[in-house]
Chain A
């Protein structure tokens, strides 16, 4: 589904990604882990075309490096940014509407589906996004991307700063997505849900992938965890 090889990216002169290689298969949940500032967000931004990528990025067999973000999104790649960038002055319903790529909604998710999954959003459908709680905003950002019916979704730190119960809700939504056939690239710093729901995980350190394997492999690999994950 997604095949990234030798990906480099720069912010001005600083070399942030130094040859990242990773794959996400159809219907697979893949975790991308690592400490603060190692370049996880930059990796997704480069895949999405928000940061200029060097290297090869293939999505559904097509080279997308160098394409514009909106064309990449239209190929079926969804992106949920890390800081819950909802449109604060628009209502919940309007935020969801913005995720739709054409005037009519077709595909896996309808607004009603998403409201069924998150009754809290239905209750607040006509309130401004800016007044929602952090957890509700996180659900809204994910649902907004789902309205565009992506085949692969990249989610950047969806559980950051959420109470344990809400973290569970996020995990359930991710499983629900996978159940409907989506592939997921999940960026996390904490291991909590990533190890539980991912089929495979990558660990990133200083702009490179330093570990690749199943969650069991990672649990067993104490040196990697100590060097690249635990604080």
Chain B
């Protein structure tokens, strides 16, 4: 029970972090109609910038400033990179974001090198907030959870309740009409893109010191974020939330419980000390397959529901 509660907590936390990336990515997908391959690179930028800022002035200013810088970089990329490429079609846009991911990675390595950065949890929050059933719940992780839930709530209120949020929703589906009503749709798209990047940057700021700040962090997390928005249904924020939490929790449970698949094989009369190719299968545990679990779920969902859980269009 205590292991379950603990991995549930970590699962929700990881899930909310994934959602911070997935929400921006899915908004950007809705307006461009293509996936932004560089999205996780903005997550990485957030972590590196936060590290650099925290080295000078501490964690707290970085929490605010790093996502802002990432957001402005994102908006600039949209304005002077993606927008001119748009007229050459989706393939060109896709290639552009693909190239951008490499460029950002190279630039990061040029400035900070290839080794991981010592971006640590702020000392003021590096203690156990409380213990429950003998397991310590770190104060920083609790703080991450609060931030990500607050961002999630703010995002939904913003999109659903404010006039700007309504304009964004409407512009995603009927940009011409929204323009004719006097709203500058390209500028709205630019800031939506920047906003999505800022969210990814914020995830980098609060997650970089737990997951590790190194040049491969974008490539490690990027594919999982894609899996999240495809499972959730492209363009659906609710879908992204559900899928992110689902993957976060399943991943953590698989690692914590580390169940053996042997009982499954025992049903078919396989002995525990079998040799040959079956030996590897019998020894397989959930922890060892955790890294491929998201992709396995992806394939499963696509077979059952090609448009994802909450999606309206086929992949």
A: residues with CB less than 8 A from B are: 48, 50, 68-70, 73-74, 79, 81, 85, 87, 89-90, 94, 97-101, 103, 144-145, 148
CB <8 Å contact, B181 and A97: no
Contact of B182 among A50, A73, A94 (CB under 8 A): A73
Docked complex: B167-226 residues within 8 A CB-CB of A:
167, 169-170, 173-174, 176-185
Top 10 A-B pairs, shortest CB-CB distance? A73-B182, A69-B179, A101-B182, A79-B180, A70-B179, A74-B182, A87-B170, A70-B184, A85-B177, A69-B180
B170 partner residues in chain A, CB cutoff 8 A: 87, 90, 98
B167 partner residues in chain A, CB cutoff 8 A: 98
With most chain A CB atoms within 10 A of its CB, the pick from B174, B179, B182 is B182
CB distance from B214 to the nearest CB of A (A): 42
CB distance from A2 to the nearest CB of B (A): 16
B87 proximal to A (CB < 8 A): no
CB <8 Å contact, B176 and A50: yes
With most chain B CB atoms within 10 A of its CB, the pick from A48, A70, A90, A100 is A70
CB distance from A29 to the nearest CB of B (A): 21
Pairs across A and B, CB under 8 Å, 28 listed: A48-B180, A69-B180, A70-B180, A70-B182, A73-B179, A73-B180, A73-B181, A73-B182, A79-B180, A81-B180, A85-B177, A87-B170, A87-B173, A87-B174, A87-B177, A90-B169, A90-B170, A94-B166, A98-B163, A98-B167, A98-B170, A98-B178, A98-B183, A99-B181, A100-B163, A101-B182, A103-B163, A148-B182
B: residues with CB less than 8 A from A are: 163, 166-167, 169-170, 173-174, 176-185
B166 partner residues in chain A, CB cutoff 8 A: 90, 94, 97-98
Output the nearest chain B residue to A94 by Cβ-Cβ distance: B166
CB <8 Å contact, B163 and A97: yes
CB distance from A19 to the nearest CB of B (A): 24
Output the nearest chain A residue to B170 by Cβ-Cβ distance: A87
CB distance from A229 to the nearest CB of B (A): 28
A101 partner residues in chain B, CB cutoff 8 A: 181-183
CB <8 Å contact, B185 and A70: yes
Alpha-carbon distance between A70 and B178 when the two chains are bound, in angstroms: 8
B184 partner residues in chain A, CB cutoff 8 A: 68, 70
CB <8 Å contact, B178 and A68: no
CB distance from A86 to the nearest CB of B (A): 9
Alpha-carbon distance between A103 and B165 when the two chains are bound, in angstroms: 12
CB <8 Å contact, B181 and A98: yes
Alpha-carbon distance between A69 and B175 when the two chains are bound, in angstroms: 11
Output the nearest chain A residue to B177 by Cβ-Cβ distance: A85
CB <8 Å contact, A70 and B183: yes
CB <8 Å contact, A85 and B174: yes
B176 partner residues in chain A, CB cutoff 8 A: 50, 69
Alpha-carbon distance between A79 and B183 when the two chains are bound, in angstroms: 13
With most chain A CB atoms within 10 A of its CB, the pick from B166, B173, B176, B180 is B180
Alpha-carbon distance between A68 and B185 when the two chains are bound, in angstroms: 10
A100 partner residues in chain B, CB cutoff 8 A: 163
With most chain A CB atoms within 10 A of its CB, the pick from B163, B167, B181, B185 is B181
B185 partner residues in chain A, CB cutoff 8 A: 70
Output the nearest chain B residue to A141 by Cβ-Cβ distance: B177
CB <8 Å contact, A144 and B179: no
A90 partner residues in chain B, CB cutoff 8 A: 166, 169-170
Contact of A50 among B173, B180, B183 (CB under 8 A): B180
Alpha-carbon distance between A94 and B163 when the two chains are bound, in angstroms: 8
Alpha-carbon distance between A117 and B192 when the two chains are bound, in angstroms: 36
Contact of B179 among A68, A97, A99, A103 (CB under 8 A): A68
A89 partner residues in chain B, CB cutoff 8 A: 169
Output the nearest chain B residue to A88 by Cβ-Cβ distance: B173
Alpha-carbon distance between A99 and B178 when the two chains are bound, in angstroms: 8
A145 partner residues in chain B, CB cutoff 8 A: 181
Alpha-carbon distance between A60 and B174 when the two chains are bound, in angstroms: 28
Output the nearest chain B residue to A103 by Cβ-Cβ distance: B163
Alpha-carbon distance between A162 and B183 when the two chains are bound, in angstroms: 30
CB <8 Å contact, A144 and B181: yes
Alpha-carbon distance between A145 and B178 when the two chains are bound, in angstroms: 10
Output the nearest chain B residue to A87 by Cβ-Cβ distance: B170
